[in-house]
Amino acid sequence: MENTDPAPPGRTAFADRALTAYLETLPLPRARLGGGAGDWRVEEVGDGNVNFVYRVLGPSGSVCVKQAPPYVRVAGESWPLTPERVVHEYRALEEHGRAAPGALPAPLHLDRDRHLLVMEYVEDHTVLRHRLGRGALHPGLGEQVGDYLARTLFATSDLALPAADKRALVAEFELNTEMCRIMEDMVFTEIYRDFHRNSWTSPELDAEVAAVRADTCVLIAAARLKDRYLTSRQALLHGDLHTGSVMVGATGSRVFDHEFACFGPMGFDVGGFLAHLLIAYFAADGRRGTPSPPEDEQQAWLLDQVEQTWDVFRERFLALWRSSGRGDSYPAALFADARGAAALEAERGAYLDRVLCDSVGFCGAELMRRLIGFARPADLTGITDPGARAACERAALRLARSLLVDASGHRSVRDVTDAARHARTG
Amino acid sequence: MENTDPAPPGRTAFADRALTAYLETLPLPRARLGGGAGDWRVEEVGDGNVNFVYRVLGPSGSVCVKQAPPYVRVAGESWPLTPERVVHEYRALEEHGRAAPGALPAPLHLDRDRHLLVMEYVEDHTVLRHRLGRGALHPGLGEQVGDYLARTLFATSDLALPAADKRALVAEFELNTEMCRIMEDMVFTEIYRDFHRNSWTSPELDAEVAAVRADTCVLIAAARLKDRYLTSRQALLHGDLHTGSVMVGATGSRVFDHEFACFGPMGFDVGGFLAHLLIAYFAADGRRGTPSPPEDEQQAWLLDQVEQTWDVFRERFLALWRSSGRGDSYPAALFADARGAAALEAERGAYLDRVLCDSVGFCGAELMRRLIGFARPADLTGITDPGARAACERAALRLARSLLVDASGHRSVRDVTDAARHARTG
Ligand SMILES: Nc1ncnc2c1ncn2[C@@H]1O[C@H](COP(=O)(O)OP(=O)(O)OP(=O)(O)O)[C@@H](O)[C@H]1O
Ligand SMILES: Nc1ncnc2c1ncn2[C@@H]1O[C@H](COP(=O)(O)OP(=O)(O)OP(=O)(O)O)[C@@H](O)[C@H]1O
Ligand SMILES: [Mg+2]
Ligand SMILES: [Mg+2]
């Protein structure tokens, strides 16, 4: 989760000494750190809103400790939240990590009683959103995230898994109910009503927000996507894949913060990530202050990353299906001869067309809720001039609506980037 | 499950005395039976294939005891099967029973250690398939089963349930993996390959079976439906709703044998039941021996029941949604004003159109597997003349294919009954 309030200072779950003494008892973290507790230093890593996150530095390396209090950290005990979220985060790190080693921090230890996990500390990486907010690019981004999406979503789907293994995983992640509820409420429901946590650039966008809430095509599309989030168990999702859940560095990208992990429609992850690239695209205009018709270099690059993310996701997913489609769905044995193989190959394309349609819809839903809901991203809230902010948000709202209400009309990712350009120029 | 082998005699799980002594310890069953163990008589109820089923008669009434051995009863220990199935059957009786009281036997007791359940014994009812096989009608059938489907599928969907309750139920029924696996294999996979348990009217239908297996449109459609069965968690299904899972009597219909219960697409239950009405429709020709162009009274009635089942399902489901749509999906609060209400009402229709499309596809898949797979129903296997049997099966196969490969082309239930008439007359 993200919001724009700064984290209150000084709230910590652990005395440093207690944490290092505890880590000394854990073989994997101890080995990474080197030396003993006396050689280790603890730093709180400040910018998460929900949990306590620490970096612990030792002579040979660092580990990252994430501890989930039974509430939202920045809100305190007034906003209770199950600490079990950390268990699902850890398990998702394991399942996704197996599918895409190196694309996320390596999980090192889970403590179910203390609601705490230890993972690899990712050195020399920056949260992608911060980087984009400074106008920077990260070469290879779409390729890296598209690859992560293909590997993790394929590996946890019925295309890869025997049904018995898949059903056991579904049963396990079904228990991440409270975190799913946050998405059900925040993404698909609260923004379409009068709700105390909603916020938008007011009064500039008041009329637009009123229009969204009165727009029955938008309401129905959002409700239909909510139904899909509630009823589909297609793959194990990251569940909150935005540009604040990706760190980038010289060696690539790392995806983290899997506390919303659940089984759901693949398009929820794919579309969610695309939405945040598109937010950065519109926000770039807001930062410049004046509407400037030609796209800047970052904007052109961002749309290119939208296309790259989808194209790489699609190609790698297809390649994995061809080479490793050993799950119970689309049983390979039925399509063994040449005609069968050709028919299955065509169906693979149709399957990914359906994932694209879902992705476009969820992208629209995510854009919408990040523009007028509770968790507005720093890309937008960091634009100090309300007029400039409203102008770029208005353009993004136009895109959000078109993706939401006409998801199936966008038959390729090129249709999405075209629609973004079109929305930007009014 | 059904097959055509007779049950081996004399295999019982319980000595009668042990069973009555056991029942005496259970308050609800004891109260139903009246008197004490010495007054009770045990009869084995013979025609199930998978479990031991007993009727226990007492001075005030009867109860039915169903015990699941760790194997398939008629096959013995050579075909192991989890005895946990009885737990899911009992829980489904509870969940569906709450939604549609009176439409299924009342659950009275579950013994998780003995893998045994006790339920109401339904007096003076006949298994629907037997009745249909004798050419009989049961007035009100479609209305009764349509009502059962509407109530149970609505009540266990996200339209009725808060997401937290629904997710807990999904997690629970996800564990009925072994029973689901039987459906995954038998309905969607084995019949399309050379598999030792497949059987059909041979050699008469050999060419048709070869054609089905070479028909990539059929294979892809079946695989896509399997994927839907594996990934959709729309509602708690009966999971094996055929005419052998319905008893009919003067007071109506009772649905039983919920051991395949799992969360899945609503159309799996709806289409499954329609398939068995259609099997009876084609089988009526086979029983007569000669192809006789005009439909007989039962056949006309059967197609009417296909329409009734769907129409009643649809209307009651819509009525329940309007009156009791308090689940997290399609949140009522978003559609409170007149324009919102009208849009939601249109979307309800679209939702049911999607359920119809699923139902038509699953109906085709179920028809197919009952014609050329392991579990051929008595309607067909009871036709002694192979030529007559093959002729009606050939007609049913034509329908199966058209429903499978062009589910969305059947835009109303009338299109389905028209297609059945068309397939019958070649
Ligand atoms: N494994 C890691 N290696 C390096 N830095 C990390 C790691 N995990 C987290 N961080 C840093 O800590 C910050 C907070 O982490 P994270 O987002 O997981 O916490 P959170 O409380 O769940 O926050 P959110 O509000 O995003 O849900 C991240 O933005 C990142 O800067
Ligand atoms: N509650 C009941 N009241 C009356 N008769 C019942 C009841 N339950 C089952 N029966 C009778 O017992 C028979 C076998 O029951 P059931 O189909 O549940 O057993 P099964 O072993 O699961 O069989 P199947 O092969 O259909 O899976 C039924 O066909 C029906 O005649
Ligand atoms: Mg987080
Ligand atoms: Mg049974």
Nearest CA in chain B to A192: B334
Q: Is residue A184 part of a domain?
A: yes
Q: What count of other Cβ atoms lies within 10 Å of the Cβ of residue B322?
A: 13
Distance of residue B272 Cα from the nearest chain A Cα, in angstroms: 20
Assess whether the C-beta atom of A53 lies below 6 angstroms from ligand 1. Answer: yes
**Distance from the alpha carbon of residue A239 to the mean position of ligand 1, in angstroms:** 15
Nearest CA in chain A to B176: A167
Contact A330 B231 (CB under 8 A): no
Task: Judge residue B337's burial from the number of C-beta atoms within 10 Å of its C-beta, 0-12 exposed, 13-18 middle, 19 or more buried.
Answer: exposed
Q: Which tens digit of pLDDT belongs to each residue from B233-243?
A: 999 999 999 99
Q: Is residue B308 part of a domain?
A: yes
Q: Which residues of B touch A212 (CB under 8 A)?
A: none
Assess whether the C-beta atom of B4 lies below 6 angstroms from ligand 2. Answer: no
| pLDDT, position B426 | 83
Contact B329 A231 (CB under 8 A): yes
Cα B390 to Cα B273: distance, rounded to the nearest angstrom: 22
Q: What are phi and psi of A202, to 5 degrees?
A: -120, 140
Strand order in the sheet with A126-127: A126-127, A246-249, A252-255
Q: Is residue A172 part of a domain?
A: yes
Q: Which tens digit of pLDDT belongs to each residue from B365-419?
A: 999 999 999 999 999 999 999 999 999 999 999 999 999 999 999 999 999 999 9
Of A87, A104, A120, the last residue of a domain is: A120
Q: Which tens digit of pLDDT belongs to each residue from B140-169?
A: 999 999 999 999 999 999 999 999 999 999
Contact A219 B167 (CB under 8 A): no
Q: How far is CA A345 from the centre of its chain?
A: 29
Question: Relative to the CA of A2, which ligand 1 atom is closest?
Answer: 25
Of A59, A87, A120, the last residue of a domain is: A120
| pLDDT, position B5 | 39
Size of chain A, expressed as the number of residues it contains: 426
Domain hosting A67: range is 30-120
Distance of residue A233 Cα from the nearest chain B Cα, in angstroms: 5
Q: Which tens digit of pLDDT belongs to each residue from B321-339?
A: 999 999 999 999 999 999 9
CATH of the domain at B68: 3.30.200.20
**Distance from the alpha carbon of residue B227 to the mean position of ligand 2, in angstroms:** 30
Assess whether the C-beta atom of A50 lies below 6 angstroms from ligand 1. Answer: yes
B6 pLDDT higher than 80: no
Assess whether the C-beta atom of B221 lies below 6 angstroms from ligand 2. Answer: no
Assess whether the C-beta atom of A257 lies below 6 angstroms from ligand 1. Answer: yes
The residue behind tokens 């489901």 is B317
Which ligand lies nearest to the CA atom of residue B49 in the structure? 2
Q: Do A183 and A321 lie in a common domain?
A: yes
Q: Is residue B292 part of a domain?
A: yes
The residue behind tokens 């109820």 is B45
| pLDDT, position A316 | 98
Contact B364, B403 (CB under 8 A): yes
| pLDDT, position B16 | 82
Contact A226 B330 (CB under 8 A): yes
In chain A, what's the furthest Cα-to-Cα distance? 67
More confident residue, B289 or A384: A384
Tokens of B50: 């998978």
- Which pLDDT band, with edges at 50, 70 and 90, does B12 fall under? low
Q: Do B142 and B289 lie in a common domain?
A: yes
Cα A322 to Cα A347: distance, rounded to the nearest angstrom: 12
- Say which residues have a Cβ less than 8 Å from residue A418's Cβ, sequence separation at least 6: none
| pLDDT, position B11 | 47
Cα A264 to Cα B53: distance, rounded to the nearest angstrom: 39
| pLDDT, position B13 | 62
Question: Relative to the CA of A125, which ligand 1 atom is closest?
Answer: 4
Distance of residue B357 Cα from the nearest chain A Cα, in angstroms: 16
Q: Is residue A168 part of a domain?
A: yes
Cα B310 to Cα B412: distance, rounded to the nearest angstrom: 9
- Say which residues have a Cβ less than 8 Å from residue B345's Cβ, sequence separation at least 6: B322
For residue B124, the one-letter residue type is D
Cα B364 to Cα B221: distance, rounded to the nearest angstrom: 10
| Residue A210 in contact with partner chain B when CB distance is under 8 A | no
Q: Do A210 and A332 lie in a common domain?
A: yes
Contacts 24+ apart (CB under 8 A), B73-78: B73/B7, B73/B11, B73/B48, B73/B49, B74/B3, B74/B5, B74/B7, B74/B8, B74/B49, B74/B50, B76/B8, B76/B11
Helix A338-372 crosses helix A266-288 at what angle (to 10 degrees)? 40
Q: Is residue B4 part of a domain?
A: no
- Which pLDDT band, with edges at 50, 70 and 90, does B289 fall under? confident
Q: Which residues of A touch B214 (CB under 8 A)?
A: 339
Q: Is residue B19 part of a domain?
A: no
Contact A158, B227 (CB under 8 A): yes
Helix B413-424 crosses helix B338-372 at what angle (to 10 degrees)? 20
Q: Which residues of B touch A157 (CB under 8 A)?
A: 231
Q: Do A144 and A106 lie in a common domain?
A: no
The residue behind tokens 């089923």 is B53
Find the CB nearest B334 among A180, A219, A347.
Answer: A219
What residues of chain B, 123 to 162, have a C-beta less than 8 Å from chain A? 157-158
Contact A216 B158 (CB under 8 A): no
Q: Do A92 and A240 lie in a common domain?
A: no
- Which pLDDT band, with edges at 50, 70 and 90, does B291 fall under? low
Q: Do B92 and B137 lie in a common domain?
A: no
More confident residue, A2 or B289: B289
Strand order in the sheet with B246-249: B126-127, B246-249, B252-255
- Which pLDDT band, with edges at 50, 70 and 90, does B293 fall under? confident
pLDDT tens, chain A, 426 aa long: 544 333 333 445 677 889 999 999 999 999 999 999 999 999 999 777 899 999 999 999 999 999 999 999 988 999 999 999 999 999 999 999 999 999 999 999 999 999 999 999 999 999 999 999 999 999 999 999 999 999 999 999 999 999 999 999 999 999 999 999 999 999 999 999 999 999 999 999 999 999 999 999 999 999 999 999 999 999 999 999 999 999 999 999 999 999 999 999 999 999 999 999 999 999 999 998 876 779 999 999 999 999 999 999 999 999 999 999 999 999 999 999 999 999 999 999 999 999 999 999 999 999 999 999 999 999 999 999 999 999 999 999 999 999 999 999 999 999 999 999 999 998
| Residue B219 in contact with partner chain A when CB distance is under 8 A | yes
- Interchain CB contacts (distance < 8 Å): A and B: 143
What residues of chain B, 69 to 108, have a C-beta less than 8 Å from chain A? none
**Distance from the alpha carbon of residue B312 to the mean position of ligand 3, in angstroms:** 47
SS3 string of A36-97? Answer: CHHHCEEEECCCCCCCEEEEEECCCCEEEEEECCCEECCCEEEEECCCCHHHHHHHHHHHHH
Contact A331 B223 (CB under 8 A): yes
Does the interface predicted TM-score (ipTM) exceed 0.85? yes
**Distance from the alpha carbon of residue A126 to the mean position of ligand 3, in angstroms:** 16
For residue B214, give the H/E element and its range: helix B206-214
b/e map of A323-333 (b: 16 or more CB within 10 Å)? eebebbbbbee
Assess whether the C-beta atom of B7 lies below 6 angstroms from ligand 2. Answer: no
Q: Do B289 and B178 lie in a common domain?
A: yes
B3 pLDDT higher than 60: no
Q: What count of other Cβ atoms lies within 10 Å of the Cβ of residue A72?
A: 19
Q: Do B94 and B129 lie in a common domain?
A: no
Nearest to A301 by CA among A182, A132, A186: A132
Question: Relative to the CA of B123, which ligand 2 atom is closest?
Answer: 4
**Distance from the alpha carbon of residue A257 to the mean position of ligand 1, in angstroms:** 6
Assess whether the C-beta atom of B3 lies below 6 angstroms from ligand 2. Answer: no
Q: Do A360 and A266 lie in a common domain?
A: yes
Tokens of A78: 């007034």
Q: What count of other Cβ atoms lies within 10 Å of the Cβ of residue B77?
A: 9
| pLDDT, position A10 | 42
**Distance from the alpha carbon of residue B108 to the mean position of ligand 4, in angstroms:** 18
Contact A230 B328 (CB under 8 A): yes
> What is the per-residue DSSP string for A179-203?
HHHHHHHHHHTGGGS--TT---STT
What is the number of structural domains in chain A?
2
Contact B231 A226 (CB under 8 A): no
Assess whether the C-beta atom of A64 lies below 6 angstroms from ligand 1. Answer: yes
Distance of residue B233 Cα from the nearest chain A Cα, in angstroms: 5
CATH of the domain at B189: 3.90.1200.10
**Distance from the alpha carbon of residue B206 to the mean position of ligand 4, in angstroms:** 30
**Distance from the alpha carbon of residue A144 to the mean position of ligand 3, in angstroms:** 21
| Residue A206 in contact with partner chain B when CB distance is under 8 A | no
| pLDDT, position B15 | 78
Dihedral sign from CA coordinates of B84, B90, B92, B95: negative
Q: Do A346 and A366 lie in a common domain?
A: yes
Of A75, A98, A120, the last residue of a domain is: A120
Assess whether the C-beta atom of B244 lies below 6 angstroms from ligand 2. Answer: yes
Distance of residue B76 Cα from the nearest chain A Cα, in angstroms: 23
| Residue A234 in contact with partner chain B when CB distance is under 8 A | yes
Q: What count of other Cβ atoms lies within 10 Å of the Cβ of residue A233?
A: 24
Q: Which residues of B touch A349 (CB under 8 A)?
A: none
Q: Is residue B7 part of a domain?
A: no
Nearest to B314 by CA among B97, B100, B146: B146
Q: Coil, helix or strand for A294?
A: coil
Size of chain B, expressed as the number of residues it contains: 426
What average pLDDT does the structure give for chain B?
95
Distance of residue B177 Cα from the nearest chain A Cα, in angstroms: 6
Q: Do A328 and A416 lie in a common domain?
A: yes
| pLDDT, position A12 | 58
Question: Relative to the CA of B51, which ligand 2 atom is closest?
Answer: 21
| pLDDT, position A20 | 95
| Residue B342 in contact with partner chain A when CB distance is under 8 A | yes
Nearest CA in chain B to A342: B216
Let me know the angle formed at the C-alpha of B405 by B279 and B387, rounded to the nearest 5 degrees.
40
Question: Relative to the CA of A257, which ligand 1 atom is closest?
Answer: 18
Q: Do A267 and A249 lie in a common domain?
A: yes
**Distance from the alpha carbon of residue B316 to the mean position of ligand 4, in angstroms:** 27
Assess whether the C-beta atom of A128 lies below 6 angstroms from ligand 1. Answer: no
